[in-house]
Amino acid sequence: LLILLLTALMIGASLLLFAMRADRLHSDSQFAPLSREALLLANNILLCVATASILLGTLYPLLLDALGLAKLSVGPPYFNQVLLPVLLPLLLCTGLGPRLRWKQQQLAALLPALGKILLCCAGLTLLWCGVLSTPSVLTVLGMLAALWIASSIVLELGQRLRTGKRVGMAAAGMHLAHLGLAVTTLGIALSTAYSLETDTPLAIGQTVQLGDYQFSLLSMEEGLGPNYLASTARIQVWQQGKPLHLLMPEKRRYLSQPDMPISEAAIAAGPFSHLYATLADPIDTGRWGIRLYYKPMISWIWAGAALMAMGGLLAAGDRRYR
């Protein structure tokens, strides 16, 4: 219901704004296939396709369940296969768009700058892969796309400063939103490549290693919440022999549905990585199933989304577009 309400609010507000300004939304001007207008149009189409794909994958299982036809679960494989062919061209257009002229762009005048950007991005990506490890092809493409967008922003701002052009609110908002997209893309690429997880039974006093972290089960506690019974694990996280975090995942049994336990994950959030711990059912006397996750760069994904929102608000404040 919440998803439907949010969707109705966004679509309704957009259609309302369109209806209020419909008499002013007309133009007889034309533009070439290689122009800023063409890439804006392509970006809008790709964003609509991506949104429709996400909406379909989210609502289709709910619709089947509501009609009593089947129970279907849509997971990461669907979104990876459907969205990647859409998002990669979108990222390419996002980095290329600000470099194009309005109406028509001559390809010969564009190639030297694009060559510099591609060489810079490819060099940085290869350097990163050589320093850390060899990630998947999709991770390399994600890193390359993020650097492509960031390099385009730097060159565009540098050109404006050299020529003395003022950076207005609309241009600043555009660059901020594009930077947010680059940050989010980089966060997704690195999180996908370097995430770790383990599912292991632990008894009190035992320790398990995950990457550079050690997780020790200190104790198990039983408690009573407002409307549930809770089994809580106290897990100490260590790094290089130093205590780092205390995670307390829970297994809750609500009084209204005692036969349906619910796991409450414990999260330790940081600027460069997140640690998660979830508690499963007891395996045997004195041992519990513990699932641990290491997810790098999650904060960057959210930071990029915040930058995109700030960029949109900044661009909307430009007096020329009111």
Helix (H, G, I), strand (E, B) or coil at 92: helix
pLDDT-based confidence at 258, cuts 50/70/90?
A: confident
**Three-point CA angle 85, 61, 297, nearest 5°:** 50
Q: Is 240 left (phi over 0), alpha (psi -120 to 50) or beta?
A: left
| pLDDT greater at residue 170 or residue 320 | 170
Let me know: does 147 contact 121? Beta carbons within 8 Å: yes
Q: What mean pLDDT do residues 197-206 have?
A: 90
CA-CA distances (angstroms) from residue 197 to 20, 107, 280? 51, 47, 15
Average pLDDT, the chain: 83
Let me know: does 272 contact 243? Beta carbons within 8 Å: no
| Tokens matching residue 33 | 């296939």
Q: How far is CA 252 from the centre of its chain?
A: 29
| pLDDT greater at residue 322 or residue 163 | 163
pLDDT above 80 (res 198): yes
> What is the structure's pLDDT at 183?
93
Per-residue pLDDT reduced to its tens digit, 70-103: 777 787 788 878 888 888 888 888 888 777 777 7
Distance CA 96, CA 110 (A): 10
Let me know: does 92 contact 43? Beta carbons within 8 Å: no
Residue found by looking up tokens 């198990």 in the block:
220
> What is the structure's pLDDT at 134?
58
Distance CA 201, CA 307 (A): 41
**Whole-model pTM?**
0.80
Residue found by looking up tokens 């060899």 in the block:
134
Per-residue pLDDT reduced to its tens digit, 16-75: 887 887 777 666 667 777 777 788 888 888 888 888 888 888 888 888 877 877 777 787
pLDDT-based confidence at 132, cuts 50/70/90?
A: low
> What is the structure's pLDDT at 138?
78
Distance CA 123, CA 117 (A): 10
Best CA proximity match to 52, nearest among 85, 73, 82: 82
